[in-house]
Structure 1
């Protein structure tokens, strides 16, 4: 009896994921892991069939990946394969999950990028445009005000780039200065923002009313052609960073920066978890670790231990 195709089983696996309401992004990443494994098998002259989904070959795939990509990518690929293999076991397609015994590579410790106050100020300054009247369409002015809103929401709220791209006008509660966002796993939360972000939003929304697409979409952040995407936000941040002379600008740097600034200002860890949408202390540890020495030094200066004797 011929061995089933891994790709065919992956299709059934995706159906099972939809039943339990896994997000499109999660399903895509799982399917990507399976697809890459199949492609690797075939590059070795091995058919992508179930009898070739075993610990020995998976370990070989992991070793090959480790020579070409970052360890974080290798870990993500293995997570996807583990989930797939557990489903195969549950469905009775295999006696035990083929990934059983395949060790997860240890993550490499490296500092996470955080933006300084001067860098944030330089980027906001780079967004400045000549003033224009409310209700008058000025693409150049609109672009500047939109980019400032992007920067301020990311830095002030610490939201993910996908969350920012998905915000609608109804998600924005201007009277209470909060935004309703939908995070990973379709989990909603309420995120507050400050006075300067309020001002930037007000200026942007006054121009947005004259946008040619304003009545055709309820998305908050727009490009010239319609709603902005997560990739579009990444590109705009790179462009503004280049104009401001700020290197290595990416959305997640703003999330790390927001977490760092929160803790530096004396904010509670539990409060930070709620705002960021974290359920695990491990995420708090990950975000806090890279800048904990700087916070410790600031705390030491505040305590003035050597000045009391």
Structure 2
């Protein structure tokens, strides 16, 4: 759909806010496009109500704008983002003296829906990892690498970017721990088990030397040309093994992270220990996995108890 023509004052404000985001806030191109699309939607709605200058923008207009999108079926997460865009825009307009009062101060976004993460069952993981081990047994370097990457993702709950950024020196094979540089450049130490240790050792002995080049440096996992593996390649590997599994809707590495966290808690691990392993800055983020465990417990109870 083509953008509607805005009144000159509103178009000028849209451009000014875009320059602010791009310059002072150093937003990414993707975020910039999303924010400006949100703001254009708001200003087009305001124009449809006869508003031609920013001082005419009122709280009621903002609420009706969000309400119209809610009725159109827009997701809560998108509505929450658009509400945040509106608040950022009006706060900027106040600082620029384009408006005298901030109409978005009392604007409330709908709460984001908290979806429970998808979790692979233990028997699914046994089949998945068993298939990778069979492929690796033939000795080709990429299957050996793929097995090691997936074993390590599940064993540690690493984010895909953390896995791709690992160096050989980050491993401590004697203690079966690895050093991870996570979000916010925060460092943590994560343990891993014997199956992952076996797979990684196999990669280091048999697979990596076959792919390593002079430019490979100390990268733990390499692509077919000897470069450090990137996140896209890891995601493609995980997508393929999930598709081969056949009985899961999981598609990406984050499903392995979800599974690792949930299985740790199901096995009795302390919530704060799981927080440390996953690198969550807030315990509240980790607590979503307790909801997964309680939900599974409730389903098991309802299926098994005669008076559930």
Normalization by structure 1: what TM-score?
0.74
Q: CA RMSD in A?
A: 3.7
Superposed, which structure 2 residues align to 1:104-253 within 5 Å?
Answer: 104-127=109-132, 128-129=134-135, 131=137, 141-206=140-205, 207-211=207-211, 213=213, 215-225=215-225, 226-249=227-250, 250-253=252-255
Mapped to 2, the partners of 1:84 and 1:217 lie a distance apart of 45
Q: Contact (CA 8 Å) 2:46, 2:57: kept in 1 or not?
A: no
Alignment of 1:44-123 (within 5 A): 51=54, 55=59, 56-57=61-62, 60=65, 63-64=68-69, 67=72, 69-79=74-84, 82-83=87-88, 86=91, 89=94, 95=100, 99-123=104-128
Q: TM-score, normalization: structure 2?
A: 0.74
What pairs with 1:23-42 in structure 2 (closer than 5 Å)?
27=28, 30-40=31-41
Higher relative contact order (CA 8 A, sep 6+): 1
The SS at the match of 1:291 is helix
Change beyond 3 A, Cα 1:231–1:46: farther
Shift of 1:87: 5.5
Q: What is the CA-CA distance between 1:267 and the residue it aligns to?
A: 0.8
**Alignment size in residue pairs:** 284
Larger deviation, residues 203-212 vs 112-121: 203-212
Task: Point out where structure 2 has 5 or more consecutive residues left out of the alignment.
Answer: 1-7, 302-308
Unaligned runs of 5+ in 1: 19-23, 134-140, 300-309
The 8 Å contact of residues 62 and 74 in structure 1, kept in 2 or not, is answered as: no
**2:268 alignment counterpart:** 266
